[in-house]
């Protein structure tokens, strides 16, 4: 078991985040679905924490890889969401986890900027860069639970500005420079996440809303969803890599954002159609998270049985 934990791929943090978010997405149907998703997310977190503790020596080489370094903050994002699960049980601990996760993510933004942005190379840019800078907006989505809308609003503006700066750069890298190897190809799915996350963050943290902002973010979310979903079969064809976890949270947060948008635009009959893409995205999110969870379970089982853990995404992604 120790060898299994030691070789746990860092990108599994994306699945941890997807499960945590999925719990909130499906909570309206049955609260036990939320608990189940939360438990699975915590179990994933324990594997990752074990990896960090047992295999500390491998972290340095791993984090020199821009893909691994840029997906690592999904761990902090997941902690922000999991903290909301604890509010009704132990609010002080929940708040401590939430603020700690925000601080750690902020420190990661600074470190990543120094390490990769100050030494900028376009070939090292991936859609996962959105996670580092826009991913912090998870704090905006969860801010109302911790009664800190001001912090949520400030982080939203930072994340939204970062999204506007990064979007043309990442589009240029992915579609013009190209050359993304198969292990990192699933990270293209992350294009779906920033607009949906900013949409959910804005609707959560701003009691008084400028109608233009949710309108713009709703349109961007739908455009990115359509584009990534069309490209999804090509990404799936590469075969399983730990980077498959990149499929999970983007669909989950897009579904959450669209569900919130449906409620926001509910008084406008001209936008009643929005409930259909929202429901379809919700269904896709559930299916994709379950699919990736099953793939990861099979991955661990096969490698445990064979006594050999192969984490190719950490070796060949760039």
Could you read off the pLDDT of 217-257 as tens digits, one per residue?
A: 999 999 999 999 999 999 999 899 999 999 999 999 999 99
Q: pLDDT band for position 1 (50/70/90)? A: low
pLDDT at 2: 64
Distance CA 35, CA 29 (A): 12
pLDDT at 312: 45
- Structure token digits, residue 285: 């999110």
- Structure token digits, residue 113: 């900027």
CATH, residue 30: 1.50.10.150
Q: pLDDT band for position 294 (50/70/90)? A: very high
Query: How many residues are there in the chain?
Result: 318
pLDDT of 314 > 60? The answer is no
pLDDT at 3: 64
pLDDT at 305: 67
Residue span of the structural domain in which 292 resides:
2-316
State which of 87-96, 261-270, 302-311 shows the largest mean pLDDT.
87-96
**In the chain, what percentage of residues exceed pLDDT 90?**
82
Distance CA 53, CA 37 (A): 24
Buried b (16+ CB within 10 A) or exposed e, 282-315: bebbbebbeebbebbeebbeebeeeeebebbbbe
Please write the tens of the pLDDT for every residue from 59-74: 778 889 999 999 999 9
pLDDT at 272: 87
Of 191, 156, 285, 182, which Cα lies nearest the Cα of 237? Answer: 182
pLDDT at 307: 60
How many structural domains compose the chain?
1
Mean pLDDT across the chain: 92
Distance CA 137, CA 109 (A): 13
pLDDT of 308 > 90? The answer is no
pLDDT of 78 > 60? The answer is yes
Distance CA 142, CA 134 (A): 14
Residues 11-32 have a mean pLDDT of 95
Query: Which range has the worst mean pLDDT, 41-45, 104-108, 140-144, 308-312?
Result: 308-312
pLDDT at 270: 79
Distance CA 240, CA 63 (A): 21
**Which letter does DSSP use for residue 267 in this model?**
T
pLDDT at 267: 75
């Amino acid at each position: 078991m120790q060898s299994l934990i030691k070789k746990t791929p860092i990108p599994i943090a994306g699945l941890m985040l997807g499960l945590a978010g999925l719990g909130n997405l499906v909570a309206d149907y049955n609260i036990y679905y939320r608990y189940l998703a939360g438990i699975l997310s915590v179990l994933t977190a324990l594997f990752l924490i074990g990896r960090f503790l047992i295999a500390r020596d491998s972290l340095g080489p791993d984090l020199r890889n821009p893909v691994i370094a840029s997906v690592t903050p999904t761990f902090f994002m997941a902690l922000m969401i999991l903290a909301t699960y604890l509010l009704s049980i132990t609010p002080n601990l929940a708040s401590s986890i939430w603020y700690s996760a925000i601080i750690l993510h902020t420190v990661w933004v600074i470190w990543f900027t120094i390490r990769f942005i100050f030494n900028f190379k376009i070939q090292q840019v991936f859609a996962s860069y959105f996670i580092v800078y826009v991913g912090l907006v998870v704090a905006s989505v969860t801010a109302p639970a911790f009664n800190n809308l001001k912090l949520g609003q400030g982080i939203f503006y930072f994340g939204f500005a970062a999204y506007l700066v990064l979007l043309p750069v990442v589009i240029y890298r992915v579609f013009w420079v190209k050359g993304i190897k198969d292990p990192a190809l699933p990270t293209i799915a992350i294009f779906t996440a920033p607009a949906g996350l900013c949409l959910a963050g804005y609707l959560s943290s701003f009691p008084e809303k400028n109608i233009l902002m949710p309108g713009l973010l709703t349109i961007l979310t739908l455009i990115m969803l359509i584009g990534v979903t069309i490209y999804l079969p090509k990404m799936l064809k590469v075969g399983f890599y730990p980077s498959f976890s990149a499929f999970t949270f983007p669909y989950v947060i897009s579904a959450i954002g669209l569900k919130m948008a449906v409620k926001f635009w509910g008084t406008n009959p001209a936008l009643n159609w929005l409930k259909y893409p929202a429901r379809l995205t919700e269904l896709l999110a559930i299916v994709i998270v379950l699919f990736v969870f099953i793939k990861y379970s099979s991955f661990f089982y096969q490698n445990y049985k064979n006594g050999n853990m192969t984490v190719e995404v950490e070796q060949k992604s760039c």
